[in-house]
């Protein structure tokens, strides 16, 4: 059976170059990068090479990039580390109700420690406004945390204007940007975004699972949340996962933003044109959503039922964030969508490996499923 993988928002297929690099690091350059001999040096060089290429793609200095086990750990370090380091300056945090669970649940944990967390509510398009941010930020705010691209509906948030608001409000707040769903898809310039902290993940860009990175502006003050050796300036200690880090760097080298974006834009456009005449389908993603993600509802067949049917045909999509493990979408609920649309939602997410033929077969099977599963 031919596989059609349209769940690239959950994870992506590692590229050939990444896989080859990981194998090389496991079998040839397997030294501990902290060891003071040749095997250690060659492993350390691979880490620094990956750090440099990732920094270049963020328009950052290599010294500002720290490797983690993924986006979740990077977000935890950014949020919990900021709160711990700056709580004497204030105890207010501003974020949104649309955030990934690693941000949302970190904020919930800080509430239990006495922090005042403001969760900005989105409109029906899944967007928050600069006016909402301006109203929420004050002199007691020590952190503003917001995603650049939403992982379920693809909304692009106005993060590039936030730092200006922070300065205008005379707030000491650090700005954290969760760029996991944006990195490798749209240009990211940490300096232009005025980010103090920014987080990314390898497995969203055809790299390996188990590795991500935190950008921390040189003079951004945060505390470590784990303790160990001297690695990575003690912010994220522990022996580095060299094979995964090197694979991450290799995957980033393969990114061609302009070429990939144009291809995905055309796939998204074709998909939308095809479903325009399907009266059963509603589009939940806003008009300005990133083309890599499109969230739809069948309005008739529950998500789990349709997912199982499509999976039996070798077609793989999701009902929302993979980290939610099938729970009802908090994002769609916050957008105040009708229950029927929430319960029948599907997220289709594209990669450079997808084709027009993939979309045609997906829609053929989706149409069949809508017609036949309703009677089961």
- Catalogue the active-site residues: 323
Classify burial at 256, counting beta carbons within 10 Å of its beta carbon; exposed 0-12, middle 13-18, buried 19 or more.
Answer: exposed
Classify burial at 274, counting beta carbons within 10 Å of its beta carbon; exposed 0-12, middle 13-18, buried 19 or more.
Answer: middle
User: Whose CA is closest to 250, among 191, 185, 189, 184?
Assistant: 184
Interatomic CA distance for residues 133 and 114, integer angstroms: 21
Angle at 177 between CA 263 and CA 80, to 5 degrees: 140
Task: Count other C-beta atoms under 10 Å from residue 49's C-beta.
Answer: 16
Q: Are 101 and 321 in contact (CB under 8 A)?
A: yes
Coil/strand/helix, residue 197: strand
Q: Are 119 and 334 in contact (CB under 8 A)?
A: no
Classify burial at 339, counting beta carbons within 10 Å of its beta carbon; exposed 0-12, middle 13-18, buried 19 or more.
Answer: exposed
Q: Are 8 and 267 in contact (CB under 8 A)?
A: no
Residue listed under structure tokens 């456009």: 269
Interatomic CA distance for residues 350 and 51, integer angstroms: 27
Going 166 to 167 to 168 to 173, the CA torsion angle's sign is positive
User: Whose CA is closest to 149, among 187, 178, 107?
Assistant: 178
User: Whose CA is closest to 140, among 103, 179, 122, 114?
Assistant: 114
């Amino acid at each position: 059976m031919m596989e059609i993988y349209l769940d690239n928002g959950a994870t992506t297929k590692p590229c050939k170059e990444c896989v080859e690099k990981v194998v090389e690091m496991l079998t040839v350059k397997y030294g501990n990068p902290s060891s003071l001999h040749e095997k250690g040096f060659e492993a350390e060089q691979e880490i620094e090479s990956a750090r440099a290429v990732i920094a270049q793609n963020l328009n950052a200095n290599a010294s500002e990039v720290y490797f983690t086990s993924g986006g979740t750990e990077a977000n935890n370090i950014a949020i919990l580390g900021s709160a711990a380091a700056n709580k004497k300056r204030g105890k207010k945090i501003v974020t949104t109700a649309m955030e990934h669970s690693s941000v949302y649940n970190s904020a919930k944990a800080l509430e239990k420690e006495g922090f005042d967390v403001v969760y900005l509510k989105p409109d029906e398009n899944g967007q928050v406004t600069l006016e909402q941010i301006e109203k929420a930020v004050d002199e007691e705010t020590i952190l503003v945390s917001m995603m650049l691209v939403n992982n379920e509906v693809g909304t692009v948030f106005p993060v590039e204007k936030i730092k200006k608001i922070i300065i205008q409000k005379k707030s000491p707040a650090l700005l954290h940007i969760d760029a996991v769903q944006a990195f490798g898809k749209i240009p990211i310039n940490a300096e232009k975004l005025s980010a103090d902290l920014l987080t990314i993940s390898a497995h969203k860009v055809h790299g390996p699972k188990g590795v991500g990175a935190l950008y921390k502006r040189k003079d951004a003050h945060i505390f470590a949340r784990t303790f160990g050796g001297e690695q990575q300036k003690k912010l994220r200690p522990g022996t580095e996962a060299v094979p995964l880090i090197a694979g991450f760097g290799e995957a980033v080298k393969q990114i061609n933003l302009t070429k990939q974006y144009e291809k995905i834009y055309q796939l998204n456009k074709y998909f939308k044109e095809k479903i325009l005449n399907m009266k059963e389908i509603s589009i939940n993603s806003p008009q300005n959503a990133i083309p890599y993600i499109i969230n739809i509802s069948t309005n008739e067949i529950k998500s789990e039922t349709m997912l199982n049917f499509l999976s039996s045909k070798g077609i793989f999509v999701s009902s929302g964030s993979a980290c939610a493990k099938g729970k009802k979408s908090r994002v769609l609920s916050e957008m105040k969508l009708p229950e029927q649309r929430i319960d029948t939602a599907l997220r289709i997410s594209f990669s450079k490996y997808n084709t027009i033929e993939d979309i045609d077969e997906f829609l053929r099977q989706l149409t069949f499923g809508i017609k036949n599963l309703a009677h089961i």
